[in-house]
Amino acid sequence: MENLDLPQVASTPSGAMIRTLGLVATICGLLIVSAYQGTLEAVAENKRIALERAVFKVIPKAASVKTFVAGSGGIQPEGTTQPEGAVKFYAAYDATGALQGIAAEGAAKGYADTVRVLYAYDPAKQAITGLGVVSMRETPGIGDKIYTDAAFLKNFEALDVRLNADMKYLAHAIKVVKHGTKQSPWEIDAIAGATVTSKAVGKGIQESAARLLPLLVPEQGKLTTAVEP
Amino acid sequence: MNVPLHPPRSSLEELLEGIWKQNPVFVMVLGMCPTLAVSVSAMNAFSMGIATTFVLVASCLLVSLMRHLVPKEVRIATYIVIIATFVTVVDYLIQAISLAVYEALGAFIQLIVVNCIILGRAEAHASKNPPLPAVLNALGMGAGFTLGLFALGAVREVLGAGKLFGFALFGADFQPWVVMVLPPGGFIVLGSWLLLFNWLEAHRHTGNEGTRHA
């Protein structure tokens, strides 16, 4: 400390500061880009496996999955350009290439956070035939019964989602009813004590199905034929 | 110039500082946000600890290597850019290793950027020391943080779910203490560990005095 008495004025030139920040930014930029490029393939592969696992759970007969989008212009494979307002869905095929079902995601606010579910839609039955949970942070022991409660999961063996005559709306909106009061095939019998989470599941499916099915059903013939091996 | 205030410490002392004497969780009580939020299971806690350790060690190494280059006027900006870079790297790495872990940790991976242990080590240690002690100190701090998180995660998983690393420990009769995997459980377990550590510390002091008077 030589100049203790003298006030230190701008000992660092501005150029040095800018040079340092520029150097750091360059090094960091290189690191981030290499990490991104280096992991790209593994991450894509992981995402594909995770998606397949989720879809196979709700459509057990499936052997392969393809991602499509349904929009005002019809159904097309998911690509880089997505038409406005298009809805993403997954078509599941068995080993011979026959369509086994459609899976799509629904999401709604639950008790703690958004509950994201994947449901299977069977075009032949015009019904929802399976339910899987993508992510949720509901109360352990209460809200997370949507994974395990057999009576609740029974709702999704044949949940009626047929469209009305002009194929614009669901003939009957999906409704979550109080535990033990289910009467119609489009109603979901809530889990006693976990009504909020049950309602989130119902709302997520209802909103997703009401958007997807009017776009999908008139075009679904394309899915059974447009299969590459 | 640059006369160190304390005598130089051995490599072992650098490494052990963060694990025991200055444990970030139990002694310094730093980085509580990820500590409480992701310590619901041993696996989550362990993954979070490893991710934080990686960012800590890599950032401290780079900060230490650049310590003569970085003017003090722009040091905070430099450190934050470096830390954010390694957090982004670890973010991609975790996605490549396991999407399940990535989703379980959620936003807390990105939030490592603002973990005060890392900026604290960069500013207080790495920027003033050569690479080897800086890395050893960061490694010790990271190990201490991982240990702290694991101590919370293991207790919470055992009591709250009756499992450890996903394996059931007790028979079907075990009724999980659900509160332990909820936020209050985090505070209860952290409080209990702090109590234990403070009691040990107090005990050690009184023990020393006892021998001194003897």
Our CA-based measurement puts residue B90 at a distance from the nearest CA of chain A, in whole angstroms, of: 8
A1: nearest CA in chain B?
Answer: B1
- Residue linked to tokens 């994974």: A147
The alpha carbon dihedral of A187, A193, A199, A204 has a sign of negative
Q: How far is CA B197 from the centre of its chain?
A: 16
* pLDDT for the residue numbered A10: 54
pTM: 0.79
From the centroid of its chain, how far is CA B17? 12
- Record: contact A35-B88, CB cut-off 8 A: yes
- Count of residues making up chain A: 229
Q: For the segment B98-111, what is each residue's pLDDT rounded down to a tens digit?
A: 988 898 888 889 99
Residue B121 structure tokens: 């080590």
- Over residues B155-205, the pLDDT tens digits come to 999 998 888 888 888 877 788 888 888 889 999 999 999 999 889 888 887
Res B209: pLDDT: 58
Q: Does B103 touch chain A (CB under 8 A)?
A: yes
Q: Is B96 on the interface with A (CB under 8 A)?
A: yes
* Average pLDDT of chain B to the nearest whole number: 87
Contact call for residues B117 and B145 (beta carbons, < 8 A): yes
* Contact criterion met (CB < 8 Å) for A20 and B98: no
Quick check: B142 pLDDT over 80? yes
Name which of B3, B81, B159, B180 to mutate to probe chain A: the one with the most chain A Cβ atoms within 10 A of its Cβ: B81
Domain range annotation of chain B: 11-165+178-213
Region B50-66: mean pLDDT is 95
pLDDT of residue B213: 47
Q: Which tens digit of pLDDT belongs to each residue from B66-75?
A: 999 899 889 9
User: Is residue B212 pLDDT above 70, yes or no?
Assistant: no
Give the mean model confidence (pLDDT) for residues B79-107: 92
For residue A139, the chain B residues in CB contact (below 8 A) are: 178, 182
Identify all chain B residues contacting A43, using CB atoms and an 8 Å cutoff. 92, 95-96
Where chain A has pLDDT below 70, the residues are: 1-10, 80, 225-229
**In chain B, where does DSSP find H-type helix?**
11-16, 32-38, 42-65, 75-97, 99-105, 116-124, 131-161, 183-213
Q: How far apart are CA A211 and CA A176, in angstroms?
A: 18
Mean pLDDT value across residues B22-36: 85
Chain B interface includes A30 (CB < 8 A): no
